[in-house]
Structure 1
Amino acid sequence: MAVRSKALILFPLFITILCLSFPATATSSSDVDFLYLTLTWPGTLCTSEKCCMPTTGEPALDFMVEDIKTYNNQTGEIVKNCKKTCQFYVNMMKDYINELYAHWSDLSCPSNNGLKNWKKTWCTYGQCSNLNQHDYIQTALNISYHVNLLEVLDVNRIVPSSSTRYKLQDIQNALRVNYGLSTHIECVNTWWPIWQPRKSLLSKINFCISKDGKSIISCPFNTETTCHDEVWFYPFTSNMLHPCTPDSAGLIKMPTEQYSAV
């Protein structure tokens, strides 16, 4: 009996240690401390792989929204898939749908209208936030307008070029002066052909955002850049986009019902 009592005493201790060793994955809005916006540079994307003209028309020749994630401050982990089901309403975005066409296009092939990407972002991350679908998706657009990356880089004489390399430190300094410690830079590093020098191509610039989506904030964690000391910032032009087939072109048709999920 004494042996059994001792085992019963040790069992809760074992469970406690087990829980501490394997922390629960953050899966609710209460776990979200900040948002993480990723803006991608199409000049690098379309140099590294084939890009196609969206079915909704030519996008802006600018940094493009890739997604906006939800993060937990204490764990530094992404908070995602908070609900088992997801309803996505196109009509909720009709007041800024043209901005989505221009600044959150999907340039992958075959040509598409971008709807799949917006829905994935909302269902995977947005439902974990305290924002509704309209405001969550719009937050990505608002912040991308606010930071105005191309202009900030241009003021610092960092412009898209196929013949000029830039010092990573100069890019980081330009971002730091304008945005503080709210950014993280990513690059695509080329390794082929092997007889040419390796190139580091500016790929993405990420921003930490307050959980209400209203302002950029200092990132609560440090992430090492994937860029080398010298970075290429290739131009992006519309002729880099392969044309879509005639039968695939067209804008998204809004459902006639006010709240019709897709």
Structure 2
Amino acid sequence: MMSKASFFFLNISFVLLLQYLSVLCVSQNFDFFYFVQEWPGSYCDTQKSCCYPTTGKPESDFGIHGLWPNYNDGSYPSNCDSSNPFKQTEIADLTSSLHKDWPTLACPSGNGIKFWSHEWEKHGTCSESVLQQHDYFEASLTLKKRSNLLQALNSAGIEANGGSYSLSSVREAIKEGIGYAPFIECNEDSSGNSQLYQVYLCVDASASNFIECPVFPRGNCSTQIQIPSF
């Protein structure tokens, strides 16, 4: 029969093991980030349409979708720490910048909190070993400024005016402007035309520097894509 002391020791060991596994899960490693930006004209120019945020129509510029930890094999972690929910107070000083550079276009109209909360809880909590909540959003805003996708496209004569461009020319323009090849994700307008929807850039695991992507998602664009106005 097990003594009280042995039983107590066994219980303590079990609790410590659970704590270790919990920390291990929260601090799991990842290899790089996808930094994803979306073109609002393509988000809105679909059968689903869009709703402008309660703060008003966003600028005619790419908006942040998210900063997503990924593995080199193409898989990714998600929802890593339910004990660390989104807290608006932690990003109070960033709110005006987030309204500008990370706006929500989902319906019904919102103030962005639901969008940012989803991104933090699904993706951001998987980067806690590198970025706490304020760091996560601040790093994303910094990467947005550094990439300046619209300038890269405009410098190559590619404008968001409803025109059609080759997929290769769009990729090359962004690579020329930023120094690294992007992945382009497309969606379809109400007439079934392929249009530039999101641009993926890869960032190192410290969320500091753009890098060549170890792996791309599966492509879904036509060879010619449109960029609708917004």
TM superposition score normalised by structure 1: 0.73
> Residue 185 of structure 1: CA displacement?
0.3
Map 1:14-25; keep pairs closer than 5 Å.
Answer: none
Equivalent residue runs for 1:81-230 within 5 Å: 81-129=79-127, 130-162=130-162, 164-190=163-189, 198-230=192-224
Letter paired with 2:227: F
**8 Å contact 1:27–1:80 — kept in the other structure?**
no
Which residue pairs with 1:242 in the alignment? none
| TM-superposed deviation, 1:108 | 1.4
| Inter-partner Cα distance in structure 2 for 1:101 and 1:189 | 26
Residues 189 and 227 of structure 1 are in contact (CA less than 8 Å); yes or no, is this contact kept in structure 2? no
- Quick one: distance in 1 between partners of 2:218 and 2:122? 25
In 2 relative to 1, CA 175–203 (structure 1 residues): closer, same or farther, beyond 3 Å? Answer: same
- Tell me if the contact between 1:40 and 1:63 (Cα under 8 Å) persists in the aligned partners: yes
4+ runs deviating over 4 angstroms: none
Contact persistence 1:41–1:63 (CA under 8 A):
yes
Q: How does 1:13-92 map to 2 (within 5 A)?
A: 27-48=25-46, 49-73=48-72, 75-92=73-90
Q: Decide which structure has the larger Cα Rg and report it.
A: 1
Consecutive unaligned residues in structure 1, runs of 5 or more: 1-25, 237-262
Aligned length: 204
The whole-number CA distance in structure 1 between the counterparts of 2:171 and 2:202 is 15
Deviations 1:144-192 (A, max 9, x none): 1111011110000000112x211111111112223344421011135x6
**RMSD, aligned α-carbons:** 1.9
Matched-pair contact (CA < 8 Å) for 1:152–1:174: yes
Aligned AA for 1:53?
Y
* Contact 2:152–2:178, Cα closer than 8 Å, also in 1: no
Q: Post-superposition shift, 1:53?
A: 2.1
Q: Are 1:200 and 1:228, in contact at CA under 8 Å, matched by a contact in 2? A: yes
Shift of 1:230: 0.8
Moved more, 60-69 or 146-155: 60-69
Cα distance in 1 between the residues matched to 2:151 and 2:180: 19
How far off is 1:109 after superposition? 1.4
Given that 1:57 and 1:101 are in contact with CA atoms closer than 8 Å, whether structure 2 keeps it comes out as no
Q: Could you say what secondary structure the match of 2:211 adopts?
A: coil
Could you tell me which amino acid in structure 2 is paired with residue 172 of structure 1? R
Deviation of 1:27 after TM superposition, in Å, equals: 4.9
Deviation at 1:204, TM superposition (A): 0.5
- Structure 2 CA distance for partners of 1:156 and 1:173, relative to 1, 3 Å: same
Native 8 Å contact 1:31 1:79 kept in 2: no
TM-aligned CA deviation for residue 28 of structure 1: 4.3
